[in-house]
Amino acid sequence: MKFPKAIVTSVAIMILPLIALLIGGCGTSNKQKLYIYTWSEIFDPALIAEFETKFDCKVIIDIFDTNESMYAKLKLTSAGYDIICPSHYFVSILAQQKMIQALDSKLLPDLMNLDPKYFTLTDPLYAVPYIVSFSGIGYRQDKINEISPSYGVFGRVDLRGRMTMLNDSREAIGAALKYLGYSVNSREPKEIEKAGDLLIQWKKNLAKFESEQYKSGLSSGEFLVVQGYSTDILQVQSENKSVVFLFPSEGVITSIDCLSIPEGAQNTELAYKFINFMIGTEVAAQNIRYAAALSPVASAYPLLGEDIRNNPIYFPPKDVIDKMERIEDLQGDVQYYYKTWDRVKAS
C-alpha cells in the first residue's frame, strides 16, 4: 500500500529524533564503565570528566563514610567495584583476606612521582597512596572565646550538645589514647579500656559521632567544636572564615587514603589507567586544590600557589610532624578496639 507523501514526511520527522536518541543511548551504553567506591569529595569532578573523555569511558562513583562500612559491603556482596579507597591501615586486612589484588608496578609508571616519605615500592604492592590527612580539632572562633588545642576540649560541659567526634573507632579511641599519653596504636587491653572509659565521659558532651555531616554543621554553627579531618576543615574554611583548625598538643593522628583494585574487578585495565592518571603531576596538583587534601605526589608541590605551600594545615611545621602518629594495622589486637567501640556506642 502506498501512503501519501505528506504522511510519509510527517512520520519521518517524528521517527528521526527517536532514531537519534536510540543511537545516542547505544553509544553511551557501549562505553567502558569504571566503578569506584570511595570517600566523598576526594576526586575533582573536572578531572573525572577529563579521564572519561581521554579514555572514552564512564566513571560511576559510590560513597562510603568509614573503612568498616566499606569492608562490610565488600565482604557481604560481590559489589563489582574496580577501584576502592581504603585507609592505609586497612590495606593489609584486605590483602590478607584476598579482597584486593597485588598491583603490577610496571603498569603504573607515575609511581616515580610519589614522595618516599609516604611510599615505598614493595613486592607485592597492594595500594597506591592517594591522600594524606590529619585529624584534629575544628572550631568556630566567632562563637568560642577560649579553647585549648587539646583533645580534652571534648570534656567541656559548657559545650554540651554542640560538639562531635569522628564516627570511627580508631580515630575516636585514638584521640582518647593520645590524651591519656598512650600510643594511638596501643595493643594493651587496659590502656584501650581506659580510653573507652574516657570516651564514654566525653560522649555525654557530644551531639553525636559523625564523619560527614559535621562539616555542614560546623559551617552553619550547629556544631561549635568537632574532631575532624584537615581536608574537611579546609573545605569548610572556604565557606566560613570563622572556622579554625587546631593540631592537638597531645599529637596528631594521621592516615593515608589509598587506591586499590578489588579482587573480581570487571575492568582492571581501566583501573590501572585511572590510578596512574590520578598520580600524574598536573592532575595531582589540580586535585590538591579541589579536595583541600595533600597528595603524596611530591612533583605536584611546585605547581601549587603560595597560599597552599605556606599553609600549615597542608604542610605542618616540624614540631607538629615530630609528634604525629600514623594509625597502623594491629591485626588480631584490633578486636580490643572494636569491643571498646561497641561499649562506647551502647553507653
In a domain, 147, yes or no: yes
Residues 244 and 259 in one domain: no
Grid cell at residue 2: 502506498
Q: For residue 29, what pLDDT is reported? A: 65
User: Is there a single domain that holds both residue 187 and residue 112?
Assistant: no
111 and 193 fall within a common domain? no
**pLDDT tens digits, residue range 226-274?**
999 999 999 899 899 999 999 999 999 998 999 999 998 999 999 999 9
Q: How far is CA 10 from the centre of its chain?
A: 55
In this structure, the strands spanning 163-165 and 225-229 are parallel
Cell of 318: 616540624
Q: Average pLDDT for consecutive 10-residue bins of the chain (347 residues)? A: 42 45 53 94 96 98 91 84 95 93 96 89 88 95 94 98 96 98 98 98 97 93 96 92 97 95 95 98 97 94 95 93 92 94 97
Residue 70 lies inside a defined structural domain of this protein: yes
Same domain as 97, residue 238 = no
pLDDT of residue 28: 54
SS3 of 211, please?
Answer: coil
Assess if residue 169 is contained within a domain.
yes
Q: How far apart are CA 83 and CA 3, in angstroms?
A: 56
Q: Please check whether residues 105 and 42 belong to one and the same domain.
A: yes
Residue 301 domain-assigned (yes or no): yes
Grid-cell match 559489589, residue found: 79
Shared domain for 211 and 305, answered yes or no, is no
Residue 25 belongs to a domain? no
The three cell numbers locating residue 38:
570511595
The answer to whether residues 143 and 264 belong to one domain is no
Report the CATH number that the domain containing residue 333 is assigned in CATH: 3.40.190.10
Q: Are 121 and 268 members of one domain? A: yes
The per-residue pLDDT for 78 is: 61
Boundaries of domain holding 162: 133-254+323-346
Q: Is residue 23 part of a domain?
A: no
* pTM of the complete model beyond 0.85: no
- Same-domain status, 151 and 238: yes
7 is a domain residue: no
Sorted by sequence, the CB contacts under 8 Å of residue 259 that are 6+ apart come out as 83, 84, 85, 127, 128, 130, 274, 275, 278
pLDDT for the residue numbered 212: 86
pLDDT in the model for residue 13: 42
Q: Is residue 103 assigned to a domain?
A: yes
Q: Which residues contact 55 (CB under 8 A, 6 or more apart)?
A: 32, 270, 273
Same domain assignment for residues 60 and 121: yes
Same domain? 212 vs 259: no
Q: What is the Cα–Cα distance from 37 to 48, expressed in whole angstroms?
A: 14
- Which of 205, 160, 147, 196 is CA-nearest to residue 175? 196
Check whether residue 327 and residue 247 sit in a common domain: yes
Domain count, the chain: 2
